[in-house]
Structure 1
């Protein structure tokens, strides 16, 4: 019943971060396994926006061409106040980078591209493999993996449930934990995951329209609320409206009045009166509950975090998914280029320092972002709306802050 497995590096979670780590390790010829408790059919269907530096990362692992062909490219992101006055503009075309734009793509399309390209490199995720009982020692990480299969249960009404088909005992020298905000690996490492801001609630709609749409991202700041518009193609878009309600999609589901067409039209009239396109269809509607979390550290000993296992941020700027992919590639590079375990440990502790510092900067925890003119003063008055919501990261962040008349004084 029990099979024993040993591997140098185990990646837990086959989302964008875990798949990026797998590509990086595959390109280095490393011994690794990529495990995910779900099936490929459970790929995430939400929309994401890839920052310029993330496109460079995808270029480095040789998958950027299909990503660019299946995404919508945006050159601008605009910030508006409650009176629909444009207060600031981010112009990505002015950045001195290889890909001076944002690429908007469905997450399941991105993940499918990464999975197919990984298969061409001779690797594939182990779907329906659930890790549990994770314990680390000074020399390795031991954990149990259940291989799951569908089984039929129920007498009066039959239905499908997941059953354990086989159990494996794994030992890995290191674990890259990309297993999401409910990370079992993070818990096994004893790393706290505190909430750093209040809970946020959004009504999210994806629409198709009968006419063309503005091809720029728009962020609308109204008091302590932030609403966002993302075009996903010439006649397709996504709105996220921040709500006062304590509802969530788990609490009230699709039956919530907040998701009805009449409420959608009221939200558009109140927060996006410029949106005049006739709506052809509402392809997705959901209430989403966000908590902003930042782990106390990015790993210890032999378990190291990347992506949502280490942080969760508001949805507007899509920082978590972009930075998480970079973290995963960074971890994989540090593990694959070290000549021995002592050097690995040294580089991993440097990873923790680097990533902790990066997130303090991204979230401006120390309030180092300053500015003096009227644009900067308005932005800083709405610091809590904007910091962590800007679709900007990496080395481009300083240039984008400059476009917004802001400076990081750190």
Structure 2
């Protein structure tokens, strides 16, 4: 809570108030478990970042009393397409999936965070800001977190929901096994004329690299693209050149709303728990943005961990969720490598995908993986 004193003790200290940290706090609040949620930022980031909320995540948000509010803010898209330039290779429909949410919901991450924060406040909780954790030490009886202010927070357990460079994971001595992709990624929110239109999420292959276009509320589009070396601040002209090169005649960018660049790793924590320290979200796993799985997997981690605290069965948390992260990393890695195939492999891919797309079982399998319904 901005401007409020930090408590001295709690049962569960949560470090990081992104989607995973907020979802864990809501889950604990619903179960009546005492917690303190701290974040180093003075206020939540207002950038859109993760934009796809999949069906399984909406089921979790329903359990947390937050799904309807987010659905009201987002766009419901019923299909995912794979293209090579202007040619459609595969259409994956979400309709018919065994869920109340047979679609991908497109909503900026700040909306997801705002809905979770609103729900947390309804339950009497909040985020303590700005509190940067500088040290985490555990002993037989609990965990002591030291803040940059010099204040201390004593907890029975601490959860790192503090991202890829997690201080909690480092303090726990947990390895983060994997590697990084050689290319960098450009991420941009734009207003544009886009030939395939606003009814689908499109993953598009090209010899120059892969990119994804996803509609957003407010007549905007999210563009995510691989490039050899992204500029520090991709501008409208850069995004236009990128689209002209990879999908000629398909896009006219009118305005750049926001842009960023990042490098992508594929890593999974060697364990999700070391004594009284636990991990969730990007602190536990990071991977390619292909398929929009990252934030979704993190929110589901948080819900599973919150339920494990409520039932007193913390040992089941890693057993349930770490295999999911391994599967998600493998799935997104396959998508990324298929996307960036060149030469004879590209021709083979473009021949095989339309053939596979005629098989209902294949389409259903891809849709179920994207929606994360196989991780219930």
TM bucket by the smaller chain? 0.7 to 0.9
**What root-mean-square deviation, in Å, do the aligned CA atoms of Structure 1 and Structure 2 show?**
3.1
1:221 to 1:361, Cα distance in 2 relative to 1, 3 A? same
Name the SS of the counterpart of 2:8 in structure 1.
strand
Write the distance in 2 (CA, Å) between the matches of 1:31 and 1:321.
25
Aligned to 2:206: 222
For residue 47 of structure 1, report the CA deviation from its aligned partner. 4.1
33, 50, 53: which is aligned to 1:30?
33
For residue 377 of structure 1, report the CA deviation from its aligned partner. 8.6
For residue 393 of structure 1, report the CA deviation from its aligned partner. 4.5
Aligned to 1:49: 52
Q: Are 1:272 and 2:253 counterparts? A: no
Aligned to 2:276: 302
1:19 to 1:243, Cα distance in 2 relative to 1, 3 A? same
Q: Are 1:243 and 2:222 counterparts? A: no
Which structure is higher in RCO with an 8 Å CA cutoff and minimum separation 6?
A: 2
Aligned to 2:289: 315
For residue 298 of structure 1, report the CA deviation from its aligned partner. 1.2
Write the distance in 1 (CA, Å) between the matches of 2:275 and 2:372.
27
Name the SS of the counterpart of 2:314 in structure 1.
helix
For residue 22 of structure 1, report the CA deviation from its aligned partner. 0.5
Task: Tell me if structure 2 keeps the 8 A contact 1:316–1:390.
Answer: no
Write the distance in 2 (CA, Å) between the matches of 1:390 and 1:268.
29
Where structure 2 has 5 or more consecutive residues not aligned to the other structure, the ranges are: 336-350, 358-365
Which structure has the larger Rg?
1
Aligned to 2:173: 190
Write the distance in 1 (CA, Å) between the matches of 2:374 and 2:318.
22
1:238 to 1:44, Cα distance in 2 relative to 1, 3 A? closer
- Tell me the alpha carbon deviations over residues 184-224 of structure 1, each in whole angstroms, 9 at most, x when there is no partner: 10001001113334243122221113689331000012359
1:69 to 1:104, Cα distance in 2 relative to 1, 3 A? same
Task: Tell me if structure 2 keeps the 8 A contact 1:47–1:104.
Answer: no
Aligned to 1:407: none
For residue 236 of structure 1, report the CA deviation from its aligned partner. 1.1
1:352 to 1:29, Cα distance in 2 relative to 1, 3 A? same
Aligned to 1:126: 128
Q: TM-score, normalised by structure 1?
A: 0.77
Aligned to 1:98: 100
Q: Are 1:58 and 2:61 counterparts? A: yes
Which moves more between the two structures, 132-141 or 218-227? 218-227
For residue 106 of structure 1, report the CA deviation from its aligned partner. 1.2
Write the distance in 2 (CA, Å) between the matches of 1:377 and 1:225.
23
Task: Tell me if structure 2 keeps the 8 A contact 1:17–1:307.
Answer: yes
For residue 86 of structure 1, report the CA deviation from its aligned partner. 2.0
Aligned to 1:161: none
1:195-214 maps to which residues of 2 (within 5 A)? 195-209=178-192, 213-214=197-198
For residue 127 of structure 1, report the CA deviation from its aligned partner. 1.0
Write the distance in 2 (CA, Å) between the matches of 1:333 and 1:9.
13
Q: TM-score, normalised by structure 2?
A: 0.83
For residue 357 of structure 1, report the CA deviation from its aligned partner. 1.6
| Divergent runs of 4+, >6 A | 376-379, 388-391
1:203 to 1:397, Cα distance in 2 relative to 1, 3 A? same
Task: Tell me if structure 2 keeps the 8 A contact 1:11–1:18.
Answer: yes
Write the distance in 1 (CA, Å) between the matches of 2:54 and 2:37.
25
For residue 237 of structure 1, report the CA deviation from its aligned partner. 0.4
Where structure 1 has 5 or more consecutive residues not aligned to the other structure, the ranges are: 147-163, 339-346, 380-387, 399-410
364, 368, 375: which is aligned to 2:353?
375
